[in-house]
Chain A
Amino acid sequence: MTFHLPSRVSITVEASDDDLVERAVSGSVTAFESLVDRYYRRCLRFAVRQLGSREDAEEAVQDAFVRAYRSLGNGGRPQRFRPWLMAIVVNRCRTYRAKNRTRRALIQRLSIGAAVRRAAPPERIDGDDLSPALAHALSRLSPGLREAFLLKHVEELTYEAMANATGIRISALKMRVKRAGERLARELESAE
């Protein structure tokens, strides 16, 4: 029996997260960049929806990846890369939001002029890629409810991973997801 093999055989096996993490820990920038390629847009999706600003989201995600790279360089080996990375992104988003909120509050207290107040708009959700109604409905959720809803139904994390990322108990997270869903549905219905 004769087998005729093709002259070229091309097999592409995508490296697993664990493989890439292991190589990144060993100092491979290329491996880490592969992880960035794999997860950048997912992280950006969460950050844009949560922060409501493309610029803040890009900055928070950049910061998160740099911190992740630094942590791997220091020998950190997450059990599962994506939930670990999302936890960093969640915390960077909280920091960026808190920073902006505190600065807005300080500026309002200082009453430092109309020009600066104009530069500090109220929180809103960037509707670049969302319908205005959906962007508005999302902006009506409190940051805690929005965060829980996005992590559960958009990023599709388990409640265990969400609890690790947010530091909030699973029972409380379930309640937040439920309330966020109800509120979002009401807002969308009232917008129709």
Chain B
Amino acid sequence: MNELDPRLHAAVARLRELPAERDTARAALRACIAAEAMETGRRSATRSRGVVLAPARAFLIAAALVLATSALWLSVPGLRGLRAGPPGPATARTPVQPVQFVLVARDARAVAVVGDFNDWNPDATLLAPGPGGVWSVVVPLAPGRFAYSYVVNGDEWRADPVAPRETDDYGRPSSVLFVSSTEM
């Protein structure tokens, strides 16, 4: 099916040629794999040292931690930006973490967050308005590093004022988020 047009044989042969690899790129990849392997080893070691709790007791401790964490967020009105949200349902095979994006923007009519996790699509993840111009949304994210930014009123790009920044490809500042694989 879809036999190749004979006029394209030469072009496809050229396209099939493998590009040369650059030492710097392979070295960077090796370093990333090594770092990931170390992180995986640390996670395994942490798990192996974990304390075994009876399910009922584990539930009580988890519930207490959720309440304490939520209370902390609510009691610190100056906190803005990104914080890890309360733990979601235990899903060992999909270790996503709920991450809360918060921006105080009293002048905003609409706020979206764009980043590596949603293909930088300003229509994908809208923040909900709250009292005092506090906009927020919770996004489940897998562990890793993400670059992101806020888009206010559809066209104003704002870096998160309380997160580490990086300069993007086109000279605009965006923010960096690290989602850990912390398990409760």
Q: Given A58-B22, A62-B28, A109-B155: A99 and B116 within 8 A (CB)?
A: yes
Q: List, in ascending order, chain A residues with CB within 8 A of B114's CB.
A: 102
Whether the pair B4, A106 counts as a contact (CB closer than 8 A) is: no
Assuming the A-B contacts A48-B19, A129-B19, are A98 and B8 also in contact, with contact meaning beta carbons closer than 8 angstroms in the complex?
no
Q: Which residues of B contact A74 (CB under 8 A)?
A: 93, 95
A168 in the interface, Cβ–Cβ < 8 Å? no
A98 with B155, Cβ < 8 A, contacts A33-B33, A182-B5 known = no
Partner of A120, one of B16, B28, B170: B170
Contact in complex: A181, B120 (CB < 8 Å): no
Query: Out of B32, B37, B170, which one reaches A116, CB within 8 Å?
Result: B170
Q: Mark B1-40, 1 if CB is under 8 A from A, else 0.
A: 1101101100110111111111001101110111011001
Q: Which residues of A contact B16 (CB under 8 A)?
A: 45, 154
Q: Mark B130-171, 1 if CB is under 8 A from A, else 0.
A: 000000000000000000000100011100000000001111
The stretch of A1-9, A10-18, A63-71, A80-88 that contacts the partner chain: A63-71
- Contact check, A119 vs B26: say whether CB atoms are below 8 A apart: no
Interface readout for B28-58 with A: 1 if CB under 8 Å, 0 if not?
Answer: 1110111011001000000000000000000
Inter-chain CB contacts under 8 Å: number: 137
- Pick the residue among A27, A61, A185 that contacts B5 (CB under 8 A): A185
Residues on the B chain within 8 Å of A48, using CB: 19
Q: List residues of chain B with CB under 8 Å of any chain A CB.
A: 1-2, 4-5, 7-8, 11-12, 14-22, 25-26, 28-30, 32-34, 36-37, 40, 93, 95, 114, 116, 119-122, 151, 155-157, 168-172
A-B contacts, 11 of them at CB < 8 A, read: A44-B21, A61-B29, A62-B25, A62-B28, A73-B40, A104-B170, A129-B17, A150-B15, A153-B8, A181-B2, A181-B5
Interface residues of A (CB under 8 A from B): 27, 29, 32-33, 36, 40-42, 44-45, 48-49, 54, 58, 61-62, 65-66, 69-70, 73-75, 94-95, 98-104, 106-107, 109-110, 112, 115-116, 119-120, 128-131, 134, 137-138, 150, 152-154, 159, 174, 177-178, 181-182, 184-185, 188-189
